[in-house]
């Protein structure tokens, strides 16, 4: 795991990394030897954000590293900038000689920047490691890095190796790690146990649909339930996608991947909650058993749902899963899903919207290095989901507000939970950023974990 590239401050000698900006460059240079200053000048190192220069000693061995933080004043630069370092440094052990504004975030971004998905390709392991001082909660940083790595690995795995059964196995593996209990409802048993929408979406595939239900924690602790969309591949069904839109559909289980990453943090930190994780896992395929536009299904909650488009399958499986979760009236119910292109059009790939009517939750679910943006559950748009033949249509009758109307549809299936929040995430980094390699991504779960840590600290032993 990339988190193992972080070491405590007693790990031994390490090459210092100096933080340099245009305002501090001359002061740093004044501390160097004459030959080292000439080296810096020859390389025209000016402290540009994210640039690094290895400065040798008289024998040519690395003596220190200059790392650019740009024009930011002392402290508030983007902590994720340190995620560039693993790709810039030669083999060795390093430490930050100048304290960053947020040491924990600097260490985390280093670990996340070292992430590589190497299941199918031989790669050279990252050789640079970072020694962190005692101000860093190393155990927490490692836990978060592992959780993000888990989410990224699941999203990056292609659908031929990650179908509904394999996703269930990933959940069971996580459960075994933390001593959680897991139950699954598979195939036609979904009909018998009243999950008709999950069954309808997954029926066309020869990979059986399922609903996986995991429990952890003491029975009388506050109930926190996470629901994740687990569409392991989405062809669009009979309303089939064009090939360009299908290219990234292995990531359509990104909601499930993210709630599993969050669950790993919650259980690893031993937060005092009764955690429940529900993942409806399906493949939306095309066959004679496929559900059709215009079909009507009775949902678990009892609402009849008209199918407006088979390529809006995620909200259908979430509807049954949310109805199940809501039946025990949890204190907090969170769902995460790669749900709408409309969210990406509105906010782009890096800023996921979330929806909640609870003002305290909305205020708490925010962290500068894990961006989120609250959008409204605008009730006047609910009429766009009207159906002439059923209680509700699952998609809007118009072209506008697609993310909001999807959230309004899901809201119909939540009544008893004290707080409900819906996250419409992308779960993907289209082009590499510091600490965020191109590919599968965790979004929102670090902010949620921070909030849950504050609300539900571990019970005293």
Neighbours of 345 (CB within 10 A): 10
410-447 pLDDT, tens digit each: 999 999 999 999 999 999 999 999 999 999 999 999 99
- Residue with the bigger pLDDT between 75 and 392: it is 392
The angle formed by the CA atoms of residues 45, 51 and 53, to the nearest 5 degrees, is: 55
7 and 111 together in one domain: yes
User: Do both 119 and 181 map to the same domain?
Assistant: no
Domain count, the chain: 2
* pLDDT of 223 above 80: yes
Spatial distance between the Cα atoms of 311 and 291, rounded to a whole number of angstroms: 11
Residue 163 shares a structural domain with residue 109? no
| pLDDT score for 242 | 95
Whether residue 2 is predicted with pLDDT greater than 90 in this model: the reply is no
Q: Which residues contact 49 (CB under 8 A, 6 or more apart)?
A: 68, 69, 70, 71, 72, 77, 81
The separation between the first and the last C-alpha atoms of the chain, rounded to the nearest angstrom, is 29
Task: Please report, for the chain, how many H helices and E strands are present, in that order.
Answer: 14, 20
With a pLDDT cut of 70, the percent of the chain lying above it is 95
The first and second tokens of residue 335, run together, are 């769902």
Same structural domain for residues 102 and 151?
A: no
Residue ending a domain, among 119, 136, 153, is 136
| Residue 91: exposure state from Cβ atoms within 10 A (0-12, 13-18, ≥19) | exposed
Q: Per residue in 99-132, pLDDT tens?
A: 888 899 999 999 999 999 989 988 766 679 999 9
Q: Is residue 119 part of a domain?
A: yes
pLDDT at res. 74: 45
Q: Are 321 and 300 in contact (CB under 8 A)?
A: no
Are residue 131 and residue 193 in the same domain, yes or no? Answer: no
Q: Using 50, 70 and 90 to split pLDDT, how confident is the model at 70?
A: confident
Statement to judge: residues 345 and 241 lie in one domain? yes
Domain extent for 124 = 2-136
Which CATH number covers residue 414? Answer: 3.40.630.10
Of the candidates 136, 155, 182, which is a domain's last residue? 136
Q: CA-to-CA distance for 144 and 367, rounded, in angstroms? A: 14
The answer to whether position 373 is within a domain reads: yes
Q: Which of 82, 101, 136 is the last residue of a domain?
A: 136
Distance separating alpha carbons of residues 178 and 269, to the nearest angstrom: 10
pLDDT digits (tens, 9 = 90+) for 137-192: 999 999 999 999 999 999 999 999 999 999 999 999 999 999 999 999 999 999 99
CATH number at residue 109: 3.40.220.10
Place of tokens 């959780």: 147
pTM score:
0.95
Does residue 460 belong to any structural domain of this protein?
no
- Average pLDDT score, the chain: 94
Most confident of 60-64, 123-127, 345-349: 345-349
The residues carrying an active-site annotation are 241, 315
Mean pLDDT of the 363-390 span: 92
- pLDDT recorded at residue 215: 98
CA distance 212 to 167: 9
Is 128 found in the same domain as 147? no
What is the pLDDT, as a whole number, of residue 365?
A: 81
Which one has a higher pLDDT value, 159 or 398?
A: 159
280 and 223 belong to one structural domain = yes
Q: Are residues 304 and 349 in the same domain?
A: yes
Residue 75, pLDDT > 50, answer no
């Amino acid at each position: 795991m990339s988190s193992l590239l972080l070491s405590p401050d007693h790990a031994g000698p390490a090459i210092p990394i100096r933080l340099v900006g245009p305002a501090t460059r001359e002061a740093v240079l004044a501390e160097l030897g004459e030959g080292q200053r000439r080296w810096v000048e020859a390389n025209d190192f000016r402290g540009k954000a994210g640039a690094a220069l290895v400065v040798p000693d008289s024998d040519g061995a690395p003596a220190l590293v200059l790392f650019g933080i740009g024009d930011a004043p002392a402290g508030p630069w983007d902590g994720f900038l340190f995620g560039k370092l693993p790709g810039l440094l030669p083999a060795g052990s390093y430490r930050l000689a100048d304290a960053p504004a947020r040491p924990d975030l600097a260490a985390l971004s280093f670990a996340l920047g070292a992430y590589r998905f190497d299941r199918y390709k031989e790669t050279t392991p990252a050789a640079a490691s970072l020694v962190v001082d005692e101000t860093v909660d190393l155990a927490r940083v490692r836990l978060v890095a592992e959780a993000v790595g888990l989410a990224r690995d699941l999203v990056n795995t292609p659908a031929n190796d990650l179908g509904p059964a394999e996703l269930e196995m990933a959940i069971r593996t996580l459960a075994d790690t933390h001593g959680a209990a897991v139950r699954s409802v598979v195939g036609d048993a979904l009909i018998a146990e009243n999950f008709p929408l999950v069954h309808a979406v997954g029926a066309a595939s020869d990979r059986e649909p399922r609903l996986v239900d995991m429990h952890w924690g003491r029975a009388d602790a506050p109930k926190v339930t996470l629901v994740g969309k687990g569409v392991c591949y989405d062809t669009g069904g009979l309303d089939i996608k064009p090939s360009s839109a299908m290219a990234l559909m292995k990531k359509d289980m990104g909601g499930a991947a993210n709630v599993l990453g969050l669950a790993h943090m919650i259980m690893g930190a031993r937060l005092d909650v009764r955690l429940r994780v529900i993942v409806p896992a399906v493949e939306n395929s095309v066959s004679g058993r496929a559900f059709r536009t215009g079909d009507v299904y009775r949902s678990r909650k009892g609402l009849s749902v008209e199918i407006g488009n088979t390529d809006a399958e995620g909200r259908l499986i979430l509807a049954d899963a949310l109805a199940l979760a809501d039946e025990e009236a949890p204190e907090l119910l969170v769902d995460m899903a790669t749900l709408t292109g409309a969210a990406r059009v509105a906010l782009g790939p890096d800023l996921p919207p979330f929806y909640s009517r609870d003002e305290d939750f909305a205020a708490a679910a925010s962290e500068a290095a894990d961006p989120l943006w609250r959008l409204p559950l605008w009730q006047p748009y609910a009429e766009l989901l009207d159906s002439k033949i059923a209680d509700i249509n699952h998609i809007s009758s118009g072209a506008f507000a697609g993310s909001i109307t999807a959230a309004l549809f899901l809201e119909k299936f939540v009544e008893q939970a004290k707080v409900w929040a819906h996250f419409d995430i992308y779960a993907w980094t289209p082009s590499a950023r510091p600490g965020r390699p191109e590919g599968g991504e965790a979004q929102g779960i670090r902010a949620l974990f921070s909030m849950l840590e504050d609300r539900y600290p571990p019970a005293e032993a």
